[in-house]
């Protein structure tokens, strides 16, 4: 039901490195994390890059929407300085580059498709095509699902587009609050898991998702006591910002 790692480093390296950068992936790895979650968005010219916010300003200096800039510009932008001077010059990475890095270093990926509103289908499709390219050797030999990333998105249409473009790459649906249509949504997507906000999860909902045979994953769990509770409820995995407090081998 959940053949994947239990604890994932959120956005690469949690609170220890600038989110959604290669430095973050390295930081997670240095802390023993071989499993990561990060966000994928499209540039104006349709290149998938790592980015959480759809507007510049927080992690990358500047103004305007991410979708207003071509990849050539975005990939030169500094995504590290906001976090600390030691990360100055750490650029916005391309999804393909990060996927290759993770593959080389044995880091399993939960790829959150984070479309700019209006680009749901295109983002899901392009993210899926990128995975098909990077993981072509694994797909060709029918490697186990643990050798492939897991897609997720709050945008139903984005997951659907990924499903259409790469049906053999597993998918999850992300819901902040689990709404009554969760079962139907997962069935339509042939999803393997439901990803949800730990803040709103109840024991009853957790039990219902598990009884239906799905994996259950929570974001973002930064407290060990809460992590233990969720695991006791049957939650299979979670991502954390506190990779300094909650280790990859967290036993619950």
Which residues, 42 to 81, sit near ligand G3P by CB under 6 A? 52
What is the three-state SS of 95-130?
Answer: HHHHHHHHHHCCCEEEEEECCCCCCHHHHHHHHHHH
Active-site residue 52, yes or no?
yes
Burial of 211 (0-12, 13-18, 19+ CB in 10 A): exposed
Do 48 and 123 meet the contact criterion of CB atoms below 8 Å apart?
yes
* Contact string 158-177 vs ligand G3P (x = CB under 6 A): ----------------x---
Report what 210 binds from Mg ion, ligand G3P, none; CB cut-off 5-8 Å by kind: none
| CA-wise closest residue to 112 among 123, 104, 100 | 123
| CA-wise closest residue to 98 among 165, 28, 171, 145 | 28
Examine residue 241 and tell whether it contacts ligand G3P (CB under 6 A): no
Three-state DSSP class for residue 149: coil
Report what 77 binds from Mg ion, ligand G3P, none; CB cut-off 5-8 Å by kind: none
Cβ at position 110, least distance to ligand G3P in Å: 6
Q: Which is nearer to ligand G3P, 39 or 120 (CB)?
A: 39
Three-state DSSP class for residue 50: strand
Q: Which is nearer to ligand G3P, 194 or 231 (CB)?
A: 194
Report what 193 binds from Mg ion, ligand G3P, none; CB cut-off 5-8 Å by kind: none
- Of residues 52, 190, 195, 200, which has the active-site annotation? 52
Examine residue 112 and tell whether it contacts Mg ion (CB under 5 A): yes
Kindly determine how many residues on this chain lie close enough to bind ligand G3P according to the rule CB under 6 A: 10
Distances (CA, A) of 213 to 30, 57, 177, 190, 236: 34, 41, 19, 12, 12
Q: Which of 29, 39, 126, 216 lies at the binding interface for ligand G3P (CB under 6 A)?
A: 39
Distances (CA, A) of 96 to 130, 161, 164: 6, 18, 20
Cβ at position 7, least distance to ligand G3P in Å: 13
Q: Which is nearer to ligand G3P, 39 or 78 (CB)?
A: 39
Measured in degrees and rounded to the nearest 5, phi and psi for residue 122 equal -60, -40
Active-site residue 10, yes or no?
yes
Q: Which of 78, 90, 112, 120 lies at the binding interface for ligand G3P (CB under 6 A)?
A: 112
Q: Which is nearer to ligand G3P, 29 or 109 (CB)?
A: 109
Distances (CA, A) of 103 to 5, 88, 148, 180, 214: 15, 25, 9, 36, 25
Q: Which is nearer to ligand G3P, 123 or 152 (CB)?
A: 152
Which residues are identified as catalytic?
Answer: 10, 52
Which spans of this chain sit near ligand G3P (rule: CB under 6 A)? 10, 37, 39, 52, 112, 152, 174, 195, 219, 239
């Amino acid at each position: 039901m959940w053949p994947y790692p239990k604890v994932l480093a959120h956005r690469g390296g949690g609170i220890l490195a600038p989110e959604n950068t290669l430095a973050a992936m390295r930081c997670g790895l240095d802390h023993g994390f071989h499993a990561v979650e990060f966000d994928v968005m499209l540039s104006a010219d349709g290149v998938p890059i790592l980015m959480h916010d759809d507007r510049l300003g927080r992690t990358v200096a500047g103004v305007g929407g991410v979708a207003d800039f071509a990849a050539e510009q975005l990939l030169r932008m500094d995504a590290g300085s906001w976090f600390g001077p030691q990360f100055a010059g750490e650029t916005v990475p391309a999804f393909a580059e990060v996927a290759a890095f993770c593959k080389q270093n044995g880091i399993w990926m939960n790829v959150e498709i984070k479309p700019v509103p209006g680009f749901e289908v295109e983002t899901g499709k392009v993210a899926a095509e990128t995975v098909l390219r990077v993981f072509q050797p694994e797909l060709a030999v029918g490697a186990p699902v643990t050798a492939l990333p897991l897609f997720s998105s709050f945008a139903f249409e984005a997951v659907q587009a990924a499903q259409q473009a790469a049906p053999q790459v597993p998918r999850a649906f992300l819901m902040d609050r689990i709404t009554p249509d969760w079962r139907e949504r997962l069935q339509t997507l042939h999803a393997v898991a439901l990803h949800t906000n730990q803040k709103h999860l109840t024991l009853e909902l957790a039990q219902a998702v598990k009884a239906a045979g799905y994996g259950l994953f929570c974001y973002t769990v930064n407290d060990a006591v809460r992590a233990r509770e969720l695991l006791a409820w049957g939650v299979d995995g979670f991502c954390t910002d506190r990779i300094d407090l909650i280790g990859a081998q967290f036993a619950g």
